[in-house]
């Protein structure tokens, strides 16, 4: 597999084409950003940690029958993935109230949400990823109705798998975002699943073990990411 030109560079990842038009190389960089790129830092080992963390989670989801774009790890910071036609909609599930939902609804952080909430957001950095609903998606043609239903079903299936996985390791999966795309007409999980895109707390102490440590200036960001990985059985060295 020959890595070719850079196709896209986001806040923390870069995507490269390959000699196979249906495959791409996903590079996890050490860049860390928050508040739509207002706060940016380089954190050593982050690219490697997120790459291996994502590979572990994607494999767990594949084992549970959830199709993903992940194929294999190529190097410490690179993975081979399927090239998807991305759907510009983020799916967010919240098992515990934290982050923006607390500000929007005036609810206390830490409230258990039963059933979990589900929200759609438009993936658009310039607009700060506004919250949308299914009527917006249909009216503006961002996704076909059947694909929206599949995205919802898969997002909750991911919740069933990962919520228990983290709980068994003494952690709470507070919330997370997922992105999907189409591969040969099938809805497939894309992007990544790492502590950059979810909230994870220690079950007993509710210590934050995710990107909120960076957002809130708590320090020990990568150490927390590695702690989560070690509890799950991921080897980073």
How much is the pLDDT for 74? 97
Decide if pLDDT at 39 tops 90: no
% of the chain exceeding 90 in pLDDT:
92
The model's pLDDT over 26-36, given as tens digits with 9 standing for 90+, comes to: 999 999 877 76
How much is the pLDDT for 237? 73
Averaged over 171-196, what is the pLDDT?
Answer: 98
Q: From residue 51, give the alpha-carbon distance in Å to each of 129, 229, 235.
A: 24, 11, 12
DSSP state letters, 75-126: SSSEEEEE--EEEEEEEEEEEE--THHHHHHTPPTT-EEEEEEEEEEE--GG
Decide if pLDDT at 71 tops 90: yes
Indicate the pTM of the whole model: 0.95
How much is the pLDDT for 70? 98
Long-range CB contact pairs, 209-215, < 8 A, 24+:
209/171, 210/174, 211/32, 211/34, 212/98, 212/99, 214/32, 214/34, 214/39, 214/41, 214/43, 215/34, 215/35, 215/39
Q: Do residues 228 and 195 touch, judged by C-beta distance below 8 A?
A: yes
**Range(s) of the chain covered by CATH 3.30.470.20:** 85-220
The model's pLDDT over 141-160, given as tens digits with 9 standing for 90+, comes to: 999 999 999 999 999 999 99
**What CATH code is assigned to 3-82?**
3.30.200.20
How much is the pLDDT for 171? 98
How much is the pLDDT for 37? 62
Q: What is the token pair recorded at 22?
A: 């249906």
The model's pLDDT over 90-142, given as tens digits with 9 standing for 90+, comes to: 999 999 999 999 999 999 999 999 999 999 999 998 999 999 999 999 999 99
**What CATH code is assigned to 85-220?**
3.30.470.20
**Range(s) of the chain covered by CATH 3.30.200.20:** 3-82
């Amino acid at each position: 597999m020959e890595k070719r030109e850079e196709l896209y560079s986001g806040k923390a990842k870069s995507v490269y084409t390959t000699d196979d038009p249906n495959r791409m190389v996903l590079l996890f960089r050490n860049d860390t950003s928050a508040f739509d790129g207002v706060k940016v830092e380089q954190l050593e080992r982050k690219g490697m940690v997120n790459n291996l963390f994502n590979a572990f989670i994607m494999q767990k989801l594949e084992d549970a029958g959830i199709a993903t774009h992940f194929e294999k790890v190529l190097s410490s910071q690179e993975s081979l993935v399927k090239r998807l036609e991305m759907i510009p909609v983020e799916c967010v599930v919240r098992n515990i109230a934290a982050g923006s939902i607390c500000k929007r609804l005036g609810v206390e952080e830490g409230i258990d949400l039963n059933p979990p909430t589900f929200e759609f957001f438009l993936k658009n950095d310039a607009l700060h990823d506004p919250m949308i609903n299914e009527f917006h998606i249909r009216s503006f043609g961002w996704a076909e109705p059947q694909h929206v239903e599949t995205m919802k079903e898969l997002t909750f299936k991911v919740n069933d798998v990962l919520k228990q996985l983290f709980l068994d390791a003494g952690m709470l999966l507070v919330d997370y975002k997922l992105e999907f795309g189409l591969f040969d007409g099938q809805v497939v999980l894309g992007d990544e699943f790492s502590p950059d895109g979810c909230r994870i707390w220690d079950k007993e102490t509710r210590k934050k073990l995710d990107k909120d440590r960076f957002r809130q200036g708590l320090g020990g960001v990568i150490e927390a990411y590695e702690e989560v990985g070690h509890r799950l059985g991921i080897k980073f060295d």
